């Protein structure tokens, strides 16, 4: 984390930001947890945007929109939590810290900056203890232990996860099948239809050619198709989703061990988020559920209770002096946050 956190008066506002590749969302609330402003913008990942500066700009667009809806100035924010995809190394955190100081030299003096994987943890346990498993554009896993120890997967992830992983593995399966190196798969017909390509060769060309190749978001748009083909029982697609569920569970186990959650015994809050895991009937989520007990004994699953940006807002409240460790306070704040969130469509990917 960066910057010292100090208790703020009840009149202060609190800011939570969750920045990913598909979108950036920001919420502003009062100390009670009532959301009074929301903003949304594009890619806030300094690794995924056209430039790091572009990622910062998108995050600030969401912040300004949330503050405008709240009818407030940035100086009214007493505590802010930025949960940002691409904050994987200390220099990434420093980059954002300098950028925020440059844009807001006299504001946001009480703020924290962490990987976006941490955003959802308080959506399961308001104390902020537990594991977050995100399957969105890519995979993100983060944990906070009972003594405050932090760990996130970052660039330790060595397997394709999230929508990007599903898409890339599906392309691999149909290209190898086309060459006779793997059995035929229903993924071939399904992906050709999805992308409107006449042949596998045409699809390969579109994905890899030097000019005019498929943009990343369009490539990844087939993730839902891969999941549907797996749900229908195609062996190649089933293997892809099972492997992803297995790898997510493995890394959740690493997170539990690295933060002391595994050693503490008892129940471990595990929050799921992201479009791949939150889709209705998600076979990746089913695969994760099947694997998780072997890697995180005592796992208690939380799925879809609150969006990750609400968890970032809860971080801002807790870091700003709201005692979410008190169950009575936590229940009251959660009720306020839940009842004042923007419509589900506003945060949908």
Predicted confidence band at 7 (pLDDT cuts at 50, 70, 90)? Answer: very low
Q: Calculate mean pLDDT across residues 176-192.
A: 98
| pLDDT at residue number 205 | 98
Look at residue 2 and tell me whether its pLDDT is greater than 60. Answer: no
Q: Give Cβ neighbours of residue 233 (< 8 Å, ≥ 6 apart).
A: none
**Domain architecture of the chain: domains with CATH:** 13-120+306-347 (3.30.420.40), 128-305 (3.30.420.40)
| pLDDT at residue number 180 | 98
| pLDDT at residue number 11 | 60
| pLDDT at residue number 344 | 86
Can you tell me the distance from the alpha carbon of 39 to that of 21, in angstroms, rounded to the nearest whole number?
A: 16
| pLDDT at residue number 103 | 96
pLDDT tens per residue across span 260-311: 999 988 999 999 999 999 998 999 999 999 999 999 999 999 987 799 999 9
Q: Calculate mean pLDDT across residues 158-170.
A: 95
Query: What are the respective helix, strand and coil percentages of the chain, to the nearest 5?
Result: 50, 15, 35
pLDDT tens per residue across span 68-96: 999 999 999 999 999 999 999 999 999 99
For the full predicted model, state whether its pTM sits above 0.85: yes
Q: Is residue 126 a contact partner of residue 245, using CB atoms and an 8 Å limit?
A: no
Q: Give Cβ neighbours of residue 155 (< 8 Å, ≥ 6 apart).
A: 88, 89
């Amino acid at each position: 984390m960066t910057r010292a956190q100090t208790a703020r008066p009840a009149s202060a506002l609190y800011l939570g930001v969750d920045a990913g590749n598909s979108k950036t969302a920001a919420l502003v609330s009062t100390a009670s947890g009532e959301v009074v402003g929301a903003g949304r913008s594009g890619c806030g990942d300094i690794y995924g945007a056209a430039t790091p500066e572009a990622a910062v700009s998108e995050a600030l667009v969401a912040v300004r929109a949330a503050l405008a809806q709240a009818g407030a100035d940035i100086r009214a924010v007493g505590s802010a939590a930025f949960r940002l995809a691409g904050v994987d190394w200390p220099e990434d955190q420093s980059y954002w810290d300098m950028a925020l100081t440059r844009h807001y030299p006299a504001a946001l003096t009480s703020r924290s900056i962490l990987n976006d994987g941490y955003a959802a943890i308080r959506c399961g346990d308001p104390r902020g203890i537990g594991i977050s498993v995100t399957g969105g554009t890519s995979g993100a896993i983060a944990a906070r232990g009972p003594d405050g120890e932090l760990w996130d997967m970052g660039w330790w992830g060595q397997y394709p996860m999230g929508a990007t992983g599903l898409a890339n593995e599906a392309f691999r399966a149909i290209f190898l099948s086309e060459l006779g190196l793997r059995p035929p798969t229903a993924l071939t017909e399904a992906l050709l239809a999805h992308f409107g390509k006449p042949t596998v060769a045409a699809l390969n060309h579109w994905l890899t050619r030097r000019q005019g190749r498929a943009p990343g978001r369009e490539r990844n748009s087939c993730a839902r198709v891969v999941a549907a083909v797996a749900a229908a029982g195609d062996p190649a697609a089933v293997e892809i989703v099972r492997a992803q569920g297995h790898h997510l569970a493995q890394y959740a186990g690493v997170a539990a061990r690295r933060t002391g959650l595994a050693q503490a015994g008892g129940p471990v809050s595990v929050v799921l988020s992201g479009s791949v895991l939150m889709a209705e009937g998600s076979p990746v989520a089913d695969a994760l559920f099947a694997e998780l007990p072997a890697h995180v004994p005592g796992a208690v699953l939380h799925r879809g209770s609150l969006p990750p940006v609400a968890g970032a807002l809860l971080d801002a409240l807790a870091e700003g002096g709201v005692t979410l460790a008190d169950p009575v306070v936590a229940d009251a704040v959660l009720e306020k946050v839940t009842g004042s969130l923007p419509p589900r469509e506003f945060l949908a990917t």
